Amino acid sequence: MANDERSPLSRWYWALFFGCLAIVVALNLPWPGLPTQDASALLRDNWFLWGFNYFGLLLIPLAALVIEDALRRGMRWPLYVVPMFVVGILALSIYMARRPAVDRFQRATPRWLEQRGLWWALVVATLLIGVFFLPRGSFPELVDTMSRNLGLSFMWLDIALNQVVALALVQADMGRRAVPAHQRTPWLLATLLTGPLGLCTYMAVRPPVSQPSAAQTSPA
């Protein structure tokens, strides 16, 4: 298999990138009848503040998975991880579209990414943010705020799509760590439904890699 051979899903990741780019442009066009935009309202909206923190916590374990994945595939991971914290799914979808389908190198996971205490701390942080913000926010308030900040409404789509794209990275990580097949589906569902809560919990309890990864085909 050639080193530059891509995953069969590469075309869908490119479609995701261009689709989201079109949405970003469309949300920021001066449409007739568009309500007056009021960015300051975001800082007074508890649902937005919850989502902003949720988005930030989600990207931390995603960045760790990208670093591990990119090191094994011989890619320049900082070029993808850094923009992820600014534009999220746009940078992540490009990475997923360009990564080789097969691991190229036998490399152990960097030790600092195996620190379980870090991931448990992020689990606690996610719970605290949910407890602090969600009971005080109201859905009508969120709808009103987002109607006056259409460009930033993309953040909510970004959160959902990042969770979906994370599934391929989690699946590849579980395969490399020999997680039993019957345990994989619950973790994928937890990641899809709870985002950083499920993903950080997986990172905290995932088994260590006993040996550096040999080249193996990724399902995505």
Domain edges within the chain: 10-28+45-205
φ, ψ for residue 102 (rounded to 5)? Answer: -125, 140
Residue 215, amino acid: A
Distance CA 108, CA 212 (A): 4
Listed in sequence order, the residues at least 6 apart from 7 whose beta carbon sits closer than 8 Å to its beta carbon are 96, 99, 101, 218, 220
Residue 217, amino acid: T
Q: 42, 149 in Cβ contact below 8 A?
A: yes
Structure tokens of 108? 């152990």
Q: Would you mind telling me the total number of residues written for the chain in this entry?
A: 220
What pLDDT does 108 receive?
67
Burial label for 191, CB within 10 Å (0-12, 13-18, 19+), is buried
Residue 206 backbone zone (phi > 0: left; psi -120 to 50: alpha; other: beta): beta
Structure tokens of 59? 């990207």
- pLDDT block averages, 10 residues each, the chain of length 220: 67 94 84 73 74 85 90 80 86 90 73 86 90 73 75 80 92 88 92 92 86 45
CA distances from 76 to 51, 80, 112 (A): 29, 8, 18
For the whole model, what pTM was predicted? 0.81
Distance CA 146, CA 39 (A): 9
What pLDDT does 137 receive?
65
Distance CA 80, CA 94 (A): 8
